[in-house]
Amino acid sequence: MMGGTRTGRAAAQRAGVLVCLGWAAACADGSPGVSNPIPDLPLNQQRTVTRTDFNWEWPFTIGVGTLGCASGAVVFRSGNVTYALNDAAAKGFASPRPIQLTVDAGPRNPLARIKQDTRMQIFAQTVACRASASAEPSPASAPCTQRIRDTHGLTEDELKQIEAEGRERRWRPLPAEYTSVAPLVDEGLKLCPK
């Protein structure tokens, strides 16, 4: 009975070795497993990447995709859409903006007595005041911002504090600031043939 167990164990070990050798042969061409391949790009010029590969430098709202490179054009594919990550790829591929995270620095000194939604509205109103003042020859900003302060019971310093927070956090109507895709571009360029 003991001999049968040894024979069974030896057969299992041989089978394990064969499976490992088969795996190695399948991957011998250097192409990693790619779950969502980029069309018309050789598999050895693309690989699957995840949020954990880049930690805090991951720039997207989605957690996994395919990174690829051809002739210096670095692209990222997810959800069957291929996005351009550098200027060389800009023509012919979608912008990554729909999946790209925005930078949102936490406020250094928020005006805690007023809810954030209200502070965001006040900020948008002050931006509009400043924009209308710069469009007109006379300084119309002062009466406009005074109305905002009066409406919300703010001091001049409190209004400045809200404006500073709005600029720090890129509140609307300011354009969003997006996280950098540079770490993915650097990795993607390594996939281009030399």
* Per-domain residue ranges of the chain: 30-101+178-189, 116-168
**Torsional sign, CA 146, 151, 156, 159:** negative
**Average pLDDT value over all residues in the chain:** 82
* Residue 128 confidence (pLDDT) above 70: yes
For residue 82, the surrounding DSSP H or E stretch is strand 81-84
Q: CA-to-CA distance for 155 and 161, rounded, in angstroms?
A: 10
Span 62-86, pLDDT tens digits: 999 999 999 999 999 999 999 999 9
82 strand-pairing partners? 77
- pLDDT score, position 140: 52
Mean pLDDT of 118-139: 80
User: In the β-sheet with 81-84, what is the strand arrangement from edge to edge?
Assistant: 46-50, 64-70, 73-78, 81-84
Q: According to the model, what pLDDT value does residue 86 have? A: 97
Average pLDDT over residues 181-194: 95
pLDDT of 120 higher than 60: yes
Q: Which tops the pLDDT comparison, 184 or 139?
A: 184
Residue 102: predicted pLDDT: 86
pTM of full prediction above 0.75: no
Q: Is the model's pLDDT at 22 over the cut of 50?
A: no
pLDDT confidence tier of residue 106, bands split at 50, 70 and 90: low
**pLDDT tens column, 149-184:** 999 999 999 999 999 888 888 888 988 889 999 999
Q: What average pLDDT does the segment 41-55 reach?
A: 95
Mean pLDDT of 30-53: 88
- The pair of structure tokens assigned to 128 is 């509009």
